[in-house]
Structure 1
Amino acid sequence: MTATSTTVDLKNRLERARQTAGAAGIDALLITPSQDLRYLVGYDAKALERLTCLALPVSGGGPVLVVPRLERGAAEASGVEQLDVEIVTWEETEDPYALVAKLLPSGVRRIGLDNHMWAEKVLGFAAALPGVTQALANEVLTELRMRKSPFEVAALREAGAAIDRVHARVPDWLKVGRTEREVGADIAAAILEEGHVQVDFTIVGSGPNSASPHHEVSDRVIQRGEPVVVDIGGTTAAGYCSDSTRTYVMGSAPAAFVEYYEVLRQAQIAACEHVRPGVSAESVDAAARSVIASAGFGDQFIHRTGHGIGMESHEDPYIVAGNTLPLEPGMAFSVEPGIYFAGEHGARIEDILVVTESGGERVNLRPRELTVLDG
């Protein structure tokens, strides 16, 4: 089980998933190794060619975790049986899809499959359950996962503080004459040192690479007078993700860059201050975008303002035009506007926010002013 979730909390998740599935017209959820499985029962199972699957019927039976016999020990060690989840094993010569079908209550007509299920497993269930309609479990689980419990908010605070500690150390490694890859390696080591168990990504984009939002690292040598975008994140032992971006400059930056960076900072602050219950996800995007567009840089803001975060670094809700979802307490997402001039330079500022009863709480607290390094 995760360090932030009690047995009671996980049992509540299972019951809420059952109720939400029933309301959505789904008779059973089938969840294979994924963050959905970990969210529901605390089992961080390996994704293998052999089938592991949580079967959660809405009625007519309790939850069952079907696992290969050789994985039973890992399943038991996860503590799922404390949640009143029965473990059923299958042998190498058995058909696990037929076994799951047999364990489901009679009368099942519509099943929800986790969104990350491998295609071969989707087809395996289709063959084992002829005439049963398949739907995405996301229809159910998104409603649960994007509203974080107090345990989860605490875990996101811990993850945010951990990645802030890494950003505080970036000036030790970000030097003129070093390559992006060398700096990225130091950052990756620090992500683990500062409280994560997994490095999810290290973006170190210098000079023209700072204008590529998803650039990671290269052998390009960092030079004086250019900006460097550092966007980094990892996963903690509790299973929750961090994600934060700061932009640094090596000595004196071009005047045009300094001008638009200040616009970007004001846009990011405006979006953060706009966050509160009841406003729409798209209105947070608009709060950032309007500042940037009014300053004449609208065409250089080329992506959405943010994405939800929790047990995955990208999940619902997405902070983008067209998403009219009203924000609610417990929702967590990034606010990360950027301005990019392809082939020249760019900048991004990113914090994770959690919606509170009265506003938004930043879990990343590093300064948002442009950080100038001597190099």
Structure 2
Amino acid sequence: MKDISPSPHDRFVDDDRLGRVRNHIAETDLDGFVAFSPPNSYYLSGCYAGMYSRPVIGLVTLEESVFVGPRLEERKADRTAWTDRALFYEDSDSPFEVLAEAVPENVDVLGYDADHARPEWVNELEGRVEPEFVDASDQFLSLRIVKTAWELDKIRRAQDLANAGCEAMFDAIRSGVPEIEAVEEVQQAYYRTYLEQHSEFDIGTANELGQYGFASVLSGPHALEPHSLSSSRQIESGDSVVGISLPSIQGYICEEERTFLVGDVDDEVTDAMETLVNVREQVIDRIGPGESVAEIDAWTFDQIEQAGLADKVQHRTGHGEGITIHENPALNAQSPGELKPGMVISVEPGLYFHEKGNALRHSDTLIVTENGAERITETDADVLTVN
């Protein structure tokens, strides 16, 4: 085992984070939080690991904060973690014995992220320490839902990459171009923008999108699989093409998506895209503090239903963003709650014509402010046509 005090540069340190977490602990019956999942361990420590096949945890109590991970992560943790301590184990060590070393003796109850933690890791640690482990999944969500100024700064930086990626789509998406060729241009736009504007930070994330974020260009029937990867399929006249831009800076995502109508598109699909553009702009105008997430989604569906397109809807109006691409709040008629300043959401109602092989979906990222919302993604979001 190795035990160090990390020495991150100021730019990697969220000055508000530990205070916010500790204030929350002080208001509960807990003595601290321990996080096993990649997003939550990153949230508590400021360091995301390159891989999570080995146990990685973040731990915060009222007196101490600790990152624990394999020795392979030592340099990264020293450079980025804002915790008081960082403990590292070798492959020859028992990782859970080292994790147990991180838990202070005066702690009686630890809240953990049960919904996303690997049960075997929890059991291994719980069997080696005295504190009771309590499911605090909802509390992690509550902490992460409103962003600090530091987090919003990283999302705005990721927005520069997202905009560059979408701008690249305007030139790359054409009839006869393979999806994978178009998405390569999007990714290259990320890298160029990162190098030119934000190279002092890491381009990467602690979530399911991989080390550099995510980009995809999906055409025709393939776009009816919204979470698929780009393929060798060639874009054809009559396609709608959904371009997805999801880059990340220092672990934080910004989403921007654009749909392009290629060549001779069915009139019904074109008309539906015009309707979707108009409805979506009205939804964006409704975003602000105090607005019910359920009512926003219900209102959106009502507008689409009045246009005779209710059967083309297959998902919610939008979702929260941050360390992961899908987090609270959800703009969903089944979800409780209201928008608050500091929340970050996408607005992305979609229409899906399975019988015609067309999908339609623009997406923008908004930050809820004290007086409304700031729309941070900026590329043209009208009815977009290419040849």
TM-score scaled by length of structure 2: 0.84
Q: Which amino acid aligns with 2:68?
A: V
CA distance in 2, matches of 1:126, 1:290: 49
TM-fit CA distance, 1:101: 3.8
CA distance in 1, matches of 2:72, 2:178: 45
CA distance in 1, matches of 2:110, 2:267: 60
2:375 paired residue number: 362
Q: Go from structure 1 to structure 2 and tell me whether the alpha carbon gap of 1:192 and 1:109 turns closer, same or farther (over 3 Å shift).
A: same
Q: Which amino acid aligns with 1:139?
A: D
TM-fit CA distance, 1:329: 0.7
> Would you say 1:38 and 2:57 are equivalent positions?
no
> Alignment partner for residue 366 of structure 2, among 325, 347, 353?
353
CA distance in 2, matches of 1:306, 1:331: 13
CA distance in 2, matches of 1:333, 1:298: 23
Q: Go from structure 1 to structure 2 and tell me whether the alpha carbon gap of 1:86 and 1:158 turns closer, same or farther (over 3 Å shift).
A: closer
Q: Which amino acid aligns with 2:228?
A: H
CA distance in 2, matches of 1:357, 1:89: 42
CA distance in 1, matches of 2:59, 2:257: 39
Q: Which amino acid aligns with 1:171?
A: F
2:246 paired residue number: 233
1:186 paired residue number: 185
TM-fit CA distance, 1:348: 0.6
TM-score scaled by length of structure 1: 0.87
Q: Which amino acid aligns with 1:323?
A: S
2:225 paired residue number: 212
Indicate the SS of the match to 1:128. Answer: coil
TM-fit CA distance, 1:188: 2.4
Aligned length: 365
Q: Which amino acid aligns with 2:383?
A: L
Whether the 8 Å CA contact 2:33–2:110 is kept in 1: the answer is: no
2:123 paired residue number: 123
CA distance in 2, matches of 1:176, 1:67: 48
Deviation per residue, 1:111-136 (Å, 9 max, x gap): 32475433331221232247823313
Alignment of 1:303-322 (within 5 A): 303-322=315-334
TM-fit CA distance, 1:33: 6.4
Alignment of 1:260-271 (within 5 A): 260-271=272-283
1:157 paired residue number: 156
> Alignment partner for residue 385 of structure 2, among 368, 372, 375?
372
TM-fit CA distance, 1:297: 0.8
Q: Go from structure 1 to structure 2 and tell me whether the alpha carbon gap of 1:254 and 1:353 turns closer, same or farther (over 3 Å shift).
A: same
1:111 paired residue number: 111
TM-fit CA distance, 1:107: 5.3
Q: What is the root-mean-square deviation of aligned Cα atoms in Å?
A: 2.7
Alignment of 1:72-111 (within 5 A): 72-80=74-82, 83=83, 85-90=84-89, 94-101=93-100, 103-106=103-106, 108-111=108-111
Whether the 8 Å CA contact 1:2–1:42 is kept in 2: the answer is: no
CA distance in 1, matches of 2:130, 2:150: 40
Q: Which amino acid aligns with 1:220?
A: R
2:207 paired residue number: none
CA distance in 2, matches of 1:299, 1:76: 53
Deviation per residue, 1:127-182 (Å, 9 max, x gap): 2247823313x332322222122332233223223212221221322121122222
> Alignment partner for residue 23 of structure 2, among 16, 19, 24?
19
Whether the 8 Å CA contact 1:250–1:372 is kept in 2: the answer is: yes
Indicate the SS of the match to 1:87. Answer: strand
Indicate the SS of the match to 1:18. Answer: helix
Q: Go from structure 1 to structure 2 and tell me whether the alpha carbon gap of 1:156 and 1:63 turns closer, same or farther (over 3 Å shift).
A: closer
Indicate the SS of the match to 2:291. Answer: coil
Whether the 8 Å CA contact 1:24–1:140 is kept in 2: the answer is: no
Larger mean CA deviation between 109-118 and 353-362 belongs to: 109-118
TM-fit CA distance, 1:215: 3.4
> Alignment partner for residue 302 of structure 1, among 314, 331, 338?
314
Indicate the SS of the match to 2:218. Answer: strand
Percent identity over the alignment? 26
**Which runs of 5 or more residues in structure 1 are unaligned?**
none
Q: Which amino acid aligns with 1:332?
A: V
Whether the 8 Å CA contact 2:36–2:58 is kept in 1: the answer is: yes
Q: Go from structure 1 to structure 2 and tell me whether the alpha carbon gap of 1:293 and 1:70 turns closer, same or farther (over 3 Å shift).
A: closer
**Which runs of 5 or more residues in structure 2 are unaligned?**
1-6, 195-202, 205-210
Q: Which amino acid aligns with 1:251?
A: G
Larger mean CA deviation between 330-339 and 279-288 belongs to: 279-288
Q: Go from structure 1 to structure 2 and tell me whether the alpha carbon gap of 1:21 and 1:299 turns closer, same or farther (over 3 Å shift).
A: farther
Indicate the SS of the match to 1:194. Answer: helix
Whether the 8 Å CA contact 2:108–2:130 is kept in 1: the answer is: no
TM-fit CA distance, 1:93: 5.3
CA distance in 1, matches of 2:181, 2:9: 33
2:198 paired residue number: none
Indicate the SS of the match to 1:228. Answer: strand
CA distance in 1, matches of 2:11, 2:295: 32
Indicate the SS of the match to 1:334. Answer: strand
CA distance in 2, matches of 1:2, 1:272: 38
Larger mean CA deviation between 282-291 and 112-121 belongs to: 112-121
Q: Go from structure 1 to structure 2 and tell me whether the alpha carbon gap of 1:183 and 1:74 turns closer, same or farther (over 3 Å shift).
A: closer
TM-fit CA distance, 1:4: 8.8
TM-fit CA distance, 1:289: 1.5
1:28 paired residue number: 32
Whether the 8 Å CA contact 1:29–1:55 is kept in 2: the answer is: yes
Q: Go from structure 1 to structure 2 and tell me whether the alpha carbon gap of 1:33 and 1:297 turns closer, same or farther (over 3 Å shift).
A: closer
CA distance in 2, matches of 1:284, 1:151: 28
Larger mean CA deviation between 301-310 and 213-222 belongs to: 213-222
Whether the 8 Å CA contact 1:281–1:320 is kept in 2: the answer is: yes
CA distance in 1, matches of 2:284, 2:236: 32
